[in-house]
Amino acid sequence: MPHRTDMKRILFITGCLGMLFMTACKKEVSDNFNLYAGNPLNDTVWTRVLNPAYSVHDLFDILTPPSIIDSFEVSSGKSLKYGDSLEISFSAGSCVGDGNSQVTPVYARVEIMPLKRKGDFIRTFRPTVTNNGSLLETGGGFFIKVSKDNKDLSLASNITFKIKFNDVDTPKANMQLFYGKEGLPVPIKGIDTAFYWIRDFDTTALNTWSKLSNNPLIPSYLGYELNSKNLRWVVSERYIDSTLPKTKVTAILSPNFTNKNTAVFAVFNNQKTIVNLKADYNSRSFFANNIPLKSSAKLISLSKIGGDFYLGVKDVSSIAFVTSYTIAPNKISLKDLITYLNNL
């Protein structure tokens, strides 16, 4: 039987080892996961199916940019002008009721949401990607909805409407007309995860226009003219160079940020190309394929957890073959988050 002094020594050493073990465990948890009593940040569980109730949907409902609301007399048509750089023209009788019934309402409500900057495509969750993952560069576009008594109208057969708008960047000579392909049914709220862009059958390059000013106090305008066969999502876009070698980009966040509360985008620095990184359930990370090597981009994470918003930004000067990047989001006010996106 051990002597009493020896027994005290053993108990002392055992206690010290226990304290060291507990300290090590606490440090490991602290480095990887912060536990907050009664806080939704504690939920680290990913999901295979993005239920409409998850807060990432709320995030994009909140971030949706405001629309221009107007009306026009459908039977006579109208050219709607906003400032010196936006004009949307409907010919007489161009919009009809359900099922192309050729029933022409007298007046209609029009809702116009411009997509000018990279942040607008993020705020609407409209990445510049096709259904097969090809990347696009955009010159800007619109969501345009025409309705009567809360029912959507459509364009009559073989009718187009005209959009003339300014590009916030220098217009490109070979932009083409693309339409947004929405999910069926279109979600009432939140993210349309089935959305992608599809090119018009007419692949002719869009006409460009300019209104130049020699007065430094008066802005110059340069942009595109297009004739759209569809309402709702309409943009000027072009495929980026498909001959460049591509790679996969992966973004890793701390366990507090899951696919239920977070969305991640790759935003190119030298062109308006916005790619959403998809959630990989098995690795608990976000990824995107077909990213051109040596691209300069920002990886941007947006999160809504409880009533709080989070923004993470990782600058990547040159995308390389080894493409796993860590993003560290920080809490941000909604106002500052919108300001950041508006200035992208």
Answer whether residue 38 is part of any domain: no
Last residue of one domain, picked from the residues 224, 239, 254: 239
Longest alpha-carbon distance in the chain: 106
Q: Cα-flanking dihedrals φ and ψ of residue 132, to 5°?
A: -100, 10
Measure the CA angle with vertex 88, ends 82 and 90; round to 5°: 135
115 and 221 inside one domain: yes
**In degrees rounded to 5, what are phi and psi of residue 208?**
-110, 160
**In this structure, are 126 and 151 located in the same domain?**
yes
DSSP at 129: B
Q: Are residues 294 and 170 in the same domain?
A: no
Query: Of 209, 239, 269, which residue is a domain's last?
Result: 239
Residue by residue, pLDDT tens for the chain (344 residues) are 444 444 444 444 444 444 433 333 333 333 345 566 567 777 899 999 999 999 999 999 999 999 999 999 998 999 999 988 999 999 998 998 865 455 667 889 999 999 999 999 999 999 999 999 999 999 999 999 999 988 999 999 899 999 999 999 999 989 999 999 999 999 988 999 999 999 999 999 999 999 888 888 888 889 999 999 999 999 999 999 888 899 999 999 999 999 999 999 999 999 999 999 999 999 999 999 999 999 999 999 999 999 999 999 999 999 988 779 999 999 999 999 999 999 99
Domain holding 142, by residue range, is 65-239
Phi, psi of 151 (to 5 degrees): -115, 130
Query: Which helix or strand (DSSP H or E) is residue 313 part of?
Result: strand 308-316
Query: How remote is the C-alpha of 137 from its chain's centroid?
Result: 14
| Residue 321 forms part of a structural domain | yes
Residues 123 and 267 in one domain: no
What 3-state DSSP class applies to 99?
helix
Looking at the fold, whether 192 and 307 belong to one and the same domain comes out as no
* Residues 6+ away with beta carbon under 8 Å from 152: 145, 146, 231
Where would I find the beta strands (DSSP E) of 104-166? 107-115, 136-148, 151-152, 154-155, 161-166
Q: Which amino acid is at 199?
A: R
66 cis-preceded (ω within 30 degrees of 0): no
Q: Hey, what are 164's tokens?
A: 């003339």
Q: Do 217 and 74 share a structural domain? A: yes
Domains identified in the chain, total number: 2
Measured CA to CA, the distance from residue 147 to residue 162 in angstroms comes to 18
Question: Do 236 and 178 contact (CB within 8 A), yes or no?
Answer: yes
Query: Is the torsion defined by CA of 294, 195, 277, 289 positive or negative?
Result: negative
* Domain at 134, CATH number: 2.60.220
Q: Are residues 188 and 328 in the same domain?
A: no
- Tell me if 169 is assigned to some domain: yes
DSSP symbols for 154-195: EEPTT--EEEEEE-SSPPPTT-EEEEEE--SSPPSSS--TT-
Question: Which domain-ending residue is among 212, 239, 266?
Answer: 239
Are residues 230 and 327 located together in one domain of the fold? no
- Are 146 and 201 contained in the same domain? yes
